[in-house]
Amino acid sequence: MQTFAHGAALWDVACPRRPSRAAGVSMAGFRVPGLDALRMVPHPAVTLLLDFGEGTSVLDCAAGRQRGSLVAGPGLGSGGAVRARGENVECVQVRLSPVIARAVLGASPADFDGAVVPLDSLWGREASRIRERLADASSWQERFEWTDLLLARRHGAGHPVDPEVARAWHRIAVSRGLARVDGLATEVGWSRKRLWSRFRSQLGLPPKHAAKLVRFDHAAHRLVAGEGAAHVAAATGYADQSHLHRDVRALTGTTPASVADEPFLAVDDIAWPTLDTAAAARVSGRPRVGPRRI
């Protein structure tokens, strides 16, 4: 476990020692003594939050207030109107690729219609059993192992998305949102209308918005790594700096400069380490946010 320190934020963060059994699943553990109105920044994944501590996490959003374990589709926090808070929060946060989310959850992200869904309304009594099992675990690694087995079992028993939909998502993801969306239907051998309809119904968002989220996520992490907005805009496929500013404003309700200082993004280098964040830090010359091992 490491300690993440960023401004007033001081969180304990744990990571699994091995990759998930199911491709498209990643997770991290958080212990936060005080969480004060943390802005949720949109991410191109489905969020599964498994709350188990003595405290309770609270998510304030347009639909109202959600407490405890929950599920949210891609783009949680769009518009900057979602805040997380709580005291003595302990949770396992899982990021699910939209391609596998339907199989794992037993419902398409499209069924959420942009809302945050309490886990017990989706999984019933199993949600309570999950909370108890995670609370009883003796270590974070035991929690990760048990959660991974649960998700792998559900994934194996669930219904996969169409191969054409998975291929279109893969093209968007590997291109960092720069794939020509209008050409995806031709690539997979479907009509444009059929791809747009299946993509939206199975992944929870249309291809164009998926590309926008993926591109924004890549750009946002380069901003956090210390790169200037003009350089980030040019490097990540925006027409110009104004285009980047408009997308950031639409997705977060704030500016690129403010996004660069968001704890929700800064913690990623510890909680969800990738080659991209490490490389961006080297390019900018800005040190990574320094964890302390405890």
Domains and CATH numbers, the chain: 2-157 (2.60.120), 163-289 (1.10.10.60)
Overall pTM > 0.85: yes
Query: Average pLDDT for residues 255-269, to the nearest whole number?
Result: 93
Residue 291: C-alpha distances to residues 168, 268, 271 (Å):
37, 12, 11
Q: Whole-number mean pLDDT of the chain?
A: 89
**What span, in angstroms and rounded, lies between the C-alpha atoms of 260 and 176?**
19
Name, of 70-84, 138-152, 264-278, the range with top average pLDDT: 138-152
pLDDT of residue 274: 67
The answer on pLDDT for 230 being more than 60 is yes
**What span, in angstroms and rounded, lies between the C-alpha atoms of 95 and 43?**
9
Going by pLDDT thresholds of 50, 70 and 90, the confidence category of residue 285 is: very low
N-to-C CA span, the chain: 6
**What span, in angstroms and rounded, lies between the C-alpha atoms of 267 and 176?**
20
**What span, in angstroms and rounded, lies between the C-alpha atoms of 36 and 39?**
9
**What span, in angstroms and rounded, lies between the C-alpha atoms of 101 and 95?**
9
* Cβ neighbours, 10 Å, residue 37: 8
Query: Average pLDDT for residues 105-126, to the nearest whole number?
Result: 91
